[in-house]
Copies of this chain bind each other. A is one copy, B any other.
Amino acid sequence: MVKISFPDGAIREYPDGSSAMDIARSISEGLARKVLAAMVNGSVWDASRPIHADASLRLLTWDHAEGRSTFWHSSAHLMAEAVESLFPGVKFWVGPAVDKGFYYDMDLGGRSMTEEDLRKLETKMNELAKQGNAYVRREISKDDAVNYFSDKGDEYKLDLLQGLNDGEITFYTQGAFTDLCKGPHIPHTGLIKAIKLTSLAGAYWKGDERNKMLTRVYGVSFPNQKEMDEHLLMLEEAKKRDHRKLGKELGIFTFDDDIGPGLPLWMPNGTIIIDELEKLARETEEDAGYKRVVTPHIAKENLYLTSGHLPYYAESMYPPMELEGVKYYLKAMNCPHHHKIFDAEPKSYKDLPLRLAEYGTCYRYEQSGELFGLMRVRCLHMNDAHIYCSREQFAQEFRAVNEMYLKYFKIFGIEKYVMRLSLHEPSKLGQKYINEPELWLETESMVREVLKESDIPFVEVPDEGAFYGPKIDVQIWSAIGREFTLATNQVDFAQGRRFKLSYTNRDNQPEVPLIIHRAPLGTHERFIGFLLEHYAGKFPLWLSPVQVKILPISDRFMEHAQHTLARLKKAGLRAEIDDRNEKIGKKIRDTELMKVPYMFVIGEKEVEADAVSVRKQGKGDAGMFPLSEIILTLTSEKENRQ
């Protein structure tokens, strides 16, 4: 018998050699039908693989990220089987799961693939899926594996084999297709119910442009057609809401070759959004007792040696500038600078919790190929703060941080969110994790309790904590259901000690503070990118760069338009007059395109009544309103951040 421990803490005994699938079946047939793979002692395994020793077990279904990536990787194998039947002699390189779906790189031996071929491949894949062929794992010696692919004349898999050691090599077979693969895979192809091959691309072998160009086929698959339909709809909507397209149309940001890749220039309209977000953060943080600081964008190498970011994090930083024999680095994070401000004056328990906030601009090196609009950039304006507190204060401080998240989610209409709580693994204390078993358990349990109390949906991820404490990744979903990682919060036992930070406690003894790193609004770059998609560029009034567009029907009404503009400006509303010599219909259409929330149309009867005719973006004519009344309405809408 082997002892199996489950995530809820239960431990049960099963016959030696039982598989995760056997165990699932012993619980319920319904559960077994949903199992895609299993987490065994922190590693993802085939559900069918026998377990021969005591182990921790988590059954993985479509609801788990690891379940989905296993599903997609298996779909790549299914696609390979289909390709082999339509393009005999094809040779395969690698076929991983990606963020949403999978791809496989292949050498078609001089043949080319068309969009039409993709449709044929989908048909073939559906046919093979229906056969419900099992994915069969087989351990194989290196010699046998080399012989197998030598016989096939497959130089790609032979190249992969070079990097592998005897004893760690496995083959996977489903139906007529066998691949060198470390797995794991889903139980059988019958689970793949909906398939779409999305695109064809070229990819240099090993990403090196001196090598041969391979064919890359992207696809996505689901366990039912409904999810596929939702996914395709979401993709279509996401294309319309592409933040790069909207960002250009609405004058939010731009890039310039002479400035550099990944370094956005924020245009006037984007800067208004930045300023409104910073205003929100300032108000919220001031109410929550934060103090603001301003720190330089560079520091000496020594600062990052102390923090431990150098040398380990060096490849994510810009290279140093050497001045007067000292290396200076652009800051990739604000924490060390804030620690220095904590340390600038002696502290006592009366000064704690000390919450230092800064919209600090950090610079990180992302490879050119990884850069993507505002989502992957090299310049990050972070909604950063560091909370220095005692152990007793920790739970309350962490709760307050969560409340701030919930407040923001409400303001921005973010309805779906989840916190990924990454924990330590006790066997790796002192290596991957700082050796403070008590503090780990204490803070993990405090974090868990607070998340439960606050009714925040969260998942726990073992063995993914940061070196110096539990980590909380905040995932949010946009209005069209796309997932974004907004921010990472961290609990930190280590930096305080590394920087020799201390405060005098009630017993007049020096004590190292706990530190919470938090950034609820993430970075301007990613958050505004998210908001562009989330709102489809139709920002709520308070965030809109232009809040009201005044549309005089003809030049005769310019005086009343000017008067209206002055009144709006006095009320603190951002307004503009469309003074072009155009028909009112065109003025309205152009203003709709610029997604301005309100239009005030002014003609004969409006002048007479000292009023305006109001059109709400996307909703048409709302009728005529006295100017003072509509200004009150808008001011209140703006102040309530609706």
A607 interface residue, CB < 8 Å from B?
Answer: no
A270 interface residue, CB < 8 Å from B?
Answer: yes
A249-268 toward B: CB 8 Å interface, digit per residue (1/0)? Answer: 00100101111100111111
Interface stretch among A50-58, A102-110, A291-299, A514-522?
A291-299
Bound-complex Cα distance A292 to B274 (A): 10
Known A251-B345, A306-B258, A361-B297: A275·B263 in contact at CB below 8 Å: no
A7 interface residue, CB < 8 Å from B?
Answer: no
By the criterion CB–CB under 8 Å, are B319 and A294 in contact?
no
Return chain B residues, CB-CB under 8 Å to A295. Answer: 259, 265-266
A313 → chain B closest CB, angstroms: 16
Number of A residues, CB within 8 Å of B: 56
Bound-complex Cα distance A278 to B55 (A): 60
Return chain B residues, CB-CB under 8 Å to A267. Answer: 293, 341, 344-345
Return chain B residues, CB-CB under 8 Å to A251. Answer: 345
Return chain B residues, CB-CB under 8 Å to A320. Answer: 321
A71 interface residue, CB < 8 Å from B?
Answer: no
By the criterion CB–CB under 8 Å, are A298 and B341 in contact?
no
By the criterion CB–CB under 8 Å, are A259 and B368 in contact?
no
A360-390 toward B: CB 8 Å interface, digit per residue (1/0)? Answer: 0101010010000000000101000000000
Give residues 285-308 of A contacting B (CB, 8 Å). 291-300, 302-303, 306
By the criterion CB–CB under 8 Å, are B268 and A303 in contact?
no
Bound-complex Cα distance A446 to B306 (A): 56
By the criterion CB–CB under 8 Å, are A259 and B299 in contact?
yes
A555 interface residue, CB < 8 Å from B?
Answer: no
A637 interface residue, CB < 8 Å from B?
Answer: no
Known A258-B303, A330-B321: A340·B265 in contact at CB below 8 Å: yes
In the complex, the count of this chain's copies comes to 2
Known A254-B344, A293-B267, A337-B265: A330·B298 in contact at CB below 8 Å: yes
Which of B257, B265, B282, B298 is within 8 Å of A263, CB to CB? Answer: B298
Chain A contact residues, majority secondary structure: mixed
Bound-complex Cα distance A270 to B260 (A): 33
Closest residue of chain B to A268, judged by CB? B291
A262 → chain B closest CB, angstroms: 9
Bound-complex Cα distance A274 to B294 (A): 9
Return chain B residues, CB-CB under 8 Å to A341. Answer: 254, 265, 267
Return chain B residues, CB-CB under 8 Å to A268. Answer: 291-293, 356
A242 → chain B closest CB, angstroms: 18
Return chain B residues, CB-CB under 8 Å to A205. Answer: none
Which of B258, B291, B343 is within 8 Å of A299, CB to CB? Answer: B258
A318 interface residue, CB < 8 Å from B?
Answer: yes
Known A260-B328, A293-B266: A319·B318 in contact at CB below 8 Å: no
Bound-complex Cα distance A429 to B278 (A): 47
A201 interface residue, CB < 8 Å from B?
Answer: no
A271 interface residue, CB < 8 Å from B?
Answer: yes
Return chain B residues, CB-CB under 8 Å to A306. Answer: 258
A291 → chain B closest CB, angstroms: 4
Closest residue of chain B to A261, judged by CB? B324
Bound-complex Cα distance A256 to B302 (A): 11
Return chain B residues, CB-CB under 8 Å to A340. Answer: 256, 258-259, 265
By the criterion CB–CB under 8 Å, are A259 and B300 in contact?
yes
A326 interface residue, CB < 8 Å from B?
Answer: yes
Task: Enumerate 28 A-B pairs (CB-CB under 8 Å) in ascending A order.
Answer: A254-B341, A256-B343, A258-B300, A258-B302, A258-B303, A259-B299, A259-B337, A260-B298, A260-B299, A263-B299, A265-B294, A265-B344, A266-B294, A267-B341, A267-B344, A268-B356, A270-B294, A271-B292, A271-B293, A294-B381, A296-B361, A297-B330, A297-B363, A298-B330, A298-B379, A319-B322, A319-B323, A321-B330
Q: Which 5 pairs from chain A and chain B are nearest by CB? A: A268-B291, A266-B294, A263-B296, A254-B344, A258-B303
18 extra A-B contacts, CB within 8 A, seeds A271-B292, A318-B328: A254-B344, A256-B340, A258-B302, A259-B296, A259-B299, A259-B340, A263-B298, A266-B294, A266-B295, A271-B294, A275-B282, A275-B292, A296-B379, A297-B297, A319-B322, A319-B323, A321-B321, A323-B365
A residues with a Cβ closer than 8 A to B are 251, 254, 256-260, 263-268, 270-272, 274-275, 282, 291-300, 302-303, 306, 318-324, 326, 328, 330, 336-337, 340-341, 343-345, 356, 361, 363, 365, 368, 379, 381
